[in-house]
Amino acid sequence: MKRQLLIAVRITVVTTVLLGVAYPLVVTALAHWLFPAQADGQLIRKDGVVIGSRLIGQPFTAEIYFHGRPSAAGANGYDAGNSGGSNLGPTNNQLVERVRADAPRLAAENPGRPVPVDLLTTSGSGLDPDISLAGALFQAPRVARARGVSEAEMVRVIRAHTRRPLFGFLGERTVNILELNLDMDSRWPIR
């Protein structure tokens, strides 16, 4: 009995060290070596200071910026510590009322054009950093006016930041809002 107990303890210690310490360290080291940007969260720096990540959405509310999807993560949205969708179904009164309130405000921004659905609905995580190309093009007139540039120039910048679907057919064309807004700030600084 004592011998079997010692064998069990040794196996537990060895497997804990191998699988609980050595393996995660090796995988982490390989990830940082092979994919350094991805392993560190694809952080975006400006003047040496981390200002965001390509993977996590941020709230932009000023007229000079493109706005992301609404966020249900946390009480005020975009709370990475409280990530998750709202779990509100299409017939839920709370969701219907929020969309009814947001739709006219967005429609007034660009009269005569339908509001893209991703500007009205939250993502599964509540932290989606991207909007659809249609969502970015919908906002182009507002942002161009606020920045004092032509809409055609704004559309060129949006298209330069457009990512194609995965493998050319999975998903839709998207635009990363943080990267687009940073590019606009560098092209047309706000005084």
pLDDT per residue as tens digits for the range 129-179: 999 999 999 999 999 999 999 999 999 999 999 999 988 889 899 999 999
Does this model's pTM top 0.75? My answer is: yes
Residue 191 has pLDDT above 90, yes or no: no
Per-residue confidence (pLDDT) for residue 16, from 0 to 100: 96
Identify which of 61, 69, 72 has the alpha carbon closest to the alpha carbon of residue 131: 69
| pLDDT band per the 50, 70, 90 thresholds, residue 85 | low
- For the residues 177-188, what does the mean pLDDT come to? 92
Phi/psi for 163 (5° steps) reads -105, 135
Identify which of 135, 121, 123, 155 has the alpha carbon closest to the alpha carbon of residue 55: 123
